[in-house]
């Protein structure tokens, strides 16, 4: 059985790596850099995000909190889908206004995910 604190440390480290990596790639996108097409630049985020997801699953399993029965976790997973979709459009969308809009929405989704995780409340203003 993996130690809970180690799992949480892994999860939080991946949270920081995920948003830092996304911000760096968004910077490359805005600069029109060809680095964005490098294989390692495209594959490394998948590794971090998979670790983020599976460490999150491990935490949920340990806490006996499950999507569908735990409102904050359900909301968090729905926001995660939005973060992935907006993130993909921000980096690969067809024009700059669309990319910038998607970038703002991706950051908003990420902020909501963190807020929900910390407060364990799906409604931020309550
Ligand atoms: C972008 C994706 C994610 C972000 C930004 C994120 C962020 C966070 C943060 C900041 C915490 C710490 C909350 C605290 O200690 O107060 C946390 C905890 C947690 N996360 Fe995530 N998370 C993400 C994905 C996931 C996924 C996919 C799952 C489950 C499938 C998950 C399940 C959990 C659980 C159960 C906790 C509670 C740990 C505890 O209170 O001890 N997370 N998450």
What is the three-state SS of 66-125? CCCCCHHHHHHHHHHHHHHHHHHHHHHCCCHHHHHHHHHHHHHHHHHHHHHHHHCCCCCC
What is the rounded average pLDDT of the residues 27-54? 96
pLDDT at 27: 97
- What is the pLDDT confidence band of residue 2, given thresholds at 50, 70 and 90? confident
Give the pair of three-digit tokens for residue 39: 């294989």
The structural domains of the chain, with segments of one domain joined by +, span 4-119
Q: Residue 1 above 80 pLDDT?
A: no
Q: Residue 108 above 90 pLDDT?
A: yes
pLDDT at 45: 96
Q: 107 CB under 6 A from ligand 1?
A: no
pLDDT at 28: 96
Q: 9 CB under 6 A from ligand 1?
A: no
What are the pLDDT digits (tens) for 45-104?
Answer: 999 999 999 999 999 999 999 988 999 999 999 999 999 999 999 999 889 999 999 999
Ligand 1: centre distance to CA 64 (Å): 14
Q: 84 CB under 6 A from ligand 1?
A: no
pLDDT at 126: 79
Q: Can you tell me which atom of ligand 1 is nearest the CA of 77?
A: 27
Residue among 110, 86, 92 nearest 18 (CA)? 110
Residue carrying the six token digits 């206004």: 97
Q: 72 CB under 6 A from ligand 1?
A: no
pTM of the model: 0.93
- What is the pLDDT confidence band of residue 18, given thresholds at 50, 70 and 90? very high
Task: Say if CB 81 and CB 106 are below 8 A apart.
Answer: no
Ligand 1: centre distance to CA 60 (Å): 8
């Amino acid at each position: 059985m993996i130690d809970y604190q180690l799992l949480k440390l892994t999860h939080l480290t991946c949270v920081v790596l995920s948003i830092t990596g996304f911000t760096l790639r968004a910077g490359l996108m805005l600069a029109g850099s060809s680095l964005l097409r490098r294989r390692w630049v495209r594959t490394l985020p998948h590794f971090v995000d998979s670790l983020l997801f599976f460490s999150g699953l491990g935490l949920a399993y340990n806490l006996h909190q499950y999507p569908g029965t735990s409102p904050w976790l359900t909301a968090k997973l729905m926001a995660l889908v939005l973060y992935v979709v907006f993130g993909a459009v921000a980096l690969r969308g067809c024009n700059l206004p669309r990319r910038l809009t998607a970038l703002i929405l991706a950051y908003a989704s990420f902020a909501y995910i963190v807020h929900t995780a910390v407060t364990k409340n799906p409604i931020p203003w309550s």
